[in-house]
Chain A
Amino acid sequence: MNFDFSDDQKMLKDQARKFLTEKCSTKVVRGVFEGGAHHDAALWKQVAEMGWTGTAIPENYGGLGLGYLELCVIAEEMGRALAPVPFSSTVYLFAEALLIAGSEEQKHKYLPKVASGEIVGTFARAEGPGAVLPKNIRTTLKGGKLSGKKIAVVDGPIADFAVVLAQTSEGAGERGLQLALVDLKGAGVKRTDCNTLDASRGHSDIVFDNAAAEPLGKAGEGWSDMQRVLDRAAILMAFEQVGGADVCLAMAKDYALNRYAFGRPIASFQAIKHKLADMYVFNELARSNAYYGAWALSTGARELPLAAASARVSATQAFDYASKENIQTHGGIGFTWQMDCHFYYKRAKETGLVLGPQRAWKDKLVTELETSNA
């Protein structure tokens, strides 16, 4: 049994942390938040130059071919730093969609460009509030043309390409779904910036009006292809969430040790101590679930969907709790714009919703338990 990352992987993690501490201070995050940009272009360029975008992309598609465990440790550091770059949408979603559903030709065409940082990609699925369900997908793919509207697409404003969940024939539900690959700079694509909670990343509503699109994967397999993409992304995102939750605990602890009230550090009050202990417990459970997800992802284990749902639910809960109780521990100052607490609070919600809400993942988790027990 060796349920831990290797020394090499830990070294990569240290390097990533060192780099991001230096290049991605919360000043950088604040710059994106306050400057109205959709990402930090200089940081993104450096991230790509280091090859991080190609970490898990095989060498024959231009990547480093290191593997998913390596990508997991980088993801955790990206989450710690709240890096305002389109890493998760390009690497966890777009690249994974290509790896899962792409033809050899598509993989050779797009993946090297992802690995080199030449293109930003994203995944567009939701069309309105509420659950994303096969019967509600109205975006159509017909004769190589895509029409419809997707909402709140992460990194939409800066993405070059999107993988889009579309319906190939009227009223066919899940059986008609297919993924489509669209050049967002092409004709018939109209993007509108969204006003979102987490301004460290840009989001767009995207209208497709007979936009040129190529099918990605087979007709009728769009839903299951998407589930597979989401499973992998959920595990990688869980590492980002665990990283973010860890920072929240460290911030809360640091503040509580240095802030005096009633003549003593507030960290000496049990109400604060117990709150931070609970944060620690949630964070540890989430980390362990994420590790199991990392194992399942790196080995392609049969348990991958269950591991993904567990990592997702656990990490979302941990980051939610840590980010809100971090503000609470800080008191009034924690709720001011000048402090960094709110960046984490917002990112926790963004990461918790972007791949689908907890409710949907919990339902999926139980479905997986039902099948595994059958």
Chain B
Amino acid sequence: MDFEDSPEEAAFRKEVRAWLDANATKRSGKREIDPEDMENGAAGEMAASKAWQKTKAKAGYARITWPKGMGGIGGTPMQSIIFSQEESKYDVANGAPFAIGLGMCIPTLMAYGDEEAKKRYVWPAVQGDEIWCQLFSEPAGGSDVANLRTKAEKNADGTWTINGSKIWTTGAQFSDYGIILTRTDPNVPKHKGLTMFYIDMKDPGVDVRPIKQASGGSGFNEIFFTDVKVKDSQRLGEVGQGWTVALTTLMHERLAVGGGQGGGLDVPQLMQLARELELEDGPAIKNAAVREKIADWYVRSAGLRYTTMRTMTALSQGKQPGPEASIAKIVVASKLQDLSAFAMELEGEAGILQGDGAPMGGAFQGGWLSAPGLRIAGGTDEILRNIIAERVLGLPGDIRVDKDVPFNKIPTGR
């Protein structure tokens, strides 16, 4: 048991460091940028992100595990992790705008698209020239993704016409293309009547409207499709096989997401606050209740950190990460919510302030505001618990009253 690189890993790390030294500057406490911030007017960040993505793509570091010629070097998942670890020590632009496209959409396109489509779209996406989004969720869907109503109807000339709407689509406002799951047959059970396409987000029939969230940001969008025409060659997979295609996408999503750390707000920031604050009985850091809470959250963070290391070990041994990766999001999101709320409680009446005027620049208020979204996006805590229960522990699936019922006969409650 050790934390050392294997000789091959060490050699790769050295190579990556040399490349980063030549192409980037060492980290100096840069601000993390997420797609939400970009929407809120950080256009310069987007340009910087695209430029850095292009630099990486040319060197084969944009998608390390992908084959040469597709933007990668045919590397291992471990090499990909090593690159991320080293990259995080440098002051480089954030790769968030490309995460969904490269993590989910393009792999789906690579699996189901025709040769022409691959030739046309993969490379521009890898080098950051084109951004993709994933159009799955709908207003009536919630966690029941397959309960979607956006229609794709086949025309006499073989083309398709899409009508309907999608929601909660991250980054749609700056996306060039999207993969879209549609209903092509409402007369069969819901999972059987779906078909996947890719579409041009700049099509005049596509209307993107950013949603203002409780946090004040607008990272998500609602999108309306009015008579959007797509060619049959834009279909991904067979007609009626859309759910199978979507599962491919979602499988890649799990590999791609792998547990964000909630904007980095964690125990060290809480300790910093506790050092600065005075409570009824003295410095907050000396308060027993505060210390207990810090310890509780620390063992969760540390437990996750070492769980990731166990996963990395499994990866380096050629094993695939299992659905146990789902635990990260459950832990991180609710910890962020509770820890932020506790910090605001310590701040007393100043806890209600937001932004620069709040203690520690409003970090905890920001965490508290984004936490409810984090607990929902990419699978709710409840769905993730179902995933652990069913796929890890092997417990039975939920009772499905909509099973084998034609989609248009499923009760909707309205």
Q: Which residues of A contact B (CB under 8 A)?
A: 1-6, 69, 249, 253, 256-257, 264-265, 267-268, 270, 272-274, 276-278, 280-281, 284-286, 288-289, 291-292, 294-295, 298-299, 309-310, 313-314, 317, 359, 361-363, 365-366, 369-370, 373
- Compute how far the CA of A49 lies from the CA of B408 in the bound complex, rounded to whole angstroms: 70
Nearest A residue (CB) for B291: A366
Is the Cβ of B313 less than 8 Å from the Cβ of A4?
yes
Tell me how far the C-beta of B167 lies from the nearest C-beta in chain A, rounded to whole angstroms: 25
Say yes or no for B24: interface residue by CB 8 A criterion.
Answer: no
- Compute how far the CA of A267 lies from the CA of B295 in the bound complex, rounded to whole angstroms: 33
Say yes or no for B292: interface residue by CB 8 A criterion.
Answer: yes
- Compute how far the CA of A274 lies from the CA of B382 in the bound complex, rounded to whole angstroms: 8
Select the stretch in B343-351, B368-376, B391-399 that faces chain A: B391-399
Q: Which residues of B contact A (CB under 8 A)?
A: 1-6, 9, 78, 267-268, 271, 285, 288, 291-292, 294-296, 298-300, 302-307, 309-310, 312-314, 316, 324, 327, 330-331, 382, 384-386, 388-390, 392-399
**Contacts A253-B393, A268-B399, A295-B1 given; does A289 touch B312 at CB 8 Å:** no
- Compute how far the CA of A309 lies from the CA of B295 in the bound complex, rounded to whole angstroms: 9
Nearest A residue (CB) for B304: A285
Is the Cβ of A276 less than 8 Å from the Cβ of B271?
no
Tell me how far the C-beta of A69 lies from the nearest C-beta in chain B, rounded to whole angstroms: 6
Is the Cβ of B294 less than 8 Å from the Cβ of A284?
no
Tell me how far the C-beta of A86 lies from the nearest C-beta in chain B, rounded to whole angstroms: 28
Tell me how far the C-beta of A204 lies from the nearest C-beta in chain B, rounded to whole angstroms: 31
Is the Cβ of A362 less than 8 Å from the Cβ of B393?
no
- Compute how far the CA of A249 lies from the CA of B300 in the bound complex, rounded to whole angstroms: 19
Is the Cβ of B299 less than 8 Å from the Cβ of A2?
no
Other-chain residue from A3, A272, A309 in contact with B1 (beta carbon distance below 8 A): A3
- Compute how far the CA of A265 lies from the CA of B398 in the bound complex, rounded to whole angstroms: 11
Nearest A residue (CB) for B5: A1
**Contacts A4-B1, A277-B388 given; does A288 touch B294 at CB 8 Å:** no
Is the Cβ of B313 less than 8 Å from the Cβ of A2?
yes
Is the Cβ of A285 less than 8 Å from the Cβ of B392?
no
Contacts of A273 in B (CB 8 A): 385-386, 389-390, 393, 395
Contacts of B392 in A (CB 8 A): 277, 280
Contacts of B4 in A (CB 8 A): 1-2
A-B CB contact pairs (8 Å), 28 listed: A1-B9, A1-B309, A1-B312, A2-B2, A3-B3, A3-B310, A69-B1, A256-B395, A268-B395, A278-B385, A284-B324, A285-B299, A285-B303, A289-B299, A289-B303, A291-B1, A291-B310, A292-B302, A294-B1, A295-B3, A313-B296, A313-B299, A362-B294, A366-B291, A366-B295, A370-B285, A373-B268, A373-B271
Tell me how far the C-beta of A314 lies from the nearest C-beta in chain B, rounded to whole angstroms: 4
Is the Cβ of A310 less than 8 Å from the Cβ of B302?
yes
- Compute how far the CA of A234 lies from the CA of B72 in the bound complex, rounded to whole angstroms: 45
- Compute how far the CA of A257 lies from the CA of B397 in the bound complex, rounded to whole angstroms: 12
Is the Cβ of A285 less than 8 Å from the Cβ of B396?
no
Is the Cβ of B296 less than 8 Å from the Cβ of A362?
yes
- Compute how far the CA of A365 lies from the CA of B324 in the bound complex, rounded to whole angstroms: 27
Is the Cβ of A369 less than 8 Å from the Cβ of B2?
no
Is the Cβ of A285 less than 8 Å from the Cβ of B393?
no
Other-chain residue from B294, B312, B386 in contact with A366 (beta carbon distance below 8 A): B294
Contacts of B307 in A (CB 8 A): 284-285, 288
Is the Cβ of B3 less than 8 Å from the Cβ of A270?
no
Tell me how far the C-beta of A275 lies from the nearest C-beta in chain B, rounded to whole angstroms: 9
Nearest B residue (CB) for A367: B291
Other-chain residue from B78, B388, B396 in contact with A267 (beta carbon distance below 8 A): B396
- Compute how far the CA of A314 lies from the CA of B6 in the bound complex, rounded to whole angstroms: 30
Nearest A residue (CB) for B302: A310
Tell me how far the C-beta of B380 lies from the nearest C-beta in chain A, rounded to whole angstroms: 11
Contacts of A4 in B (CB 8 A): 1, 310, 313-314
Nearest A residue (CB) for B396: A268
Contacts of B5 in A (CB 8 A): 1
Is the Cβ of B393 less than 8 Å from the Cβ of A276?
yes
Tell me how far the C-beta of B323 lies from the nearest C-beta in chain A, rounded to whole angstroms: 11
Nearest B residue (CB) for A311: B299
- Compute how far the CA of A373 lies from the CA of B298 in the bound complex, rounded to whole angstroms: 14
Tell me how far the C-beta of A358 lies from the nearest C-beta in chain B, rounded to whole angstroms: 8
Nearest B residue (CB) for A289: B303
Nearest A residue (CB) for B1: A295
- Compute how far the CA of A69 lies from the CA of B330 in the bound complex, rounded to whole angstroms: 30
Contacts of B305 in A (CB 8 A): 288
Is the Cβ of B388 less than 8 Å from the Cβ of A281?
yes
**Contacts A253-B393, A369-B271 given; does A270 touch B299 at CB 8 Å:** no
Tell me how far the C-beta of B275 lies from the nearest C-beta in chain A, rounded to whole angstroms: 9
- Compute how far the CA of A272 lies from the CA of B331 in the bound complex, rounded to whole angstroms: 19
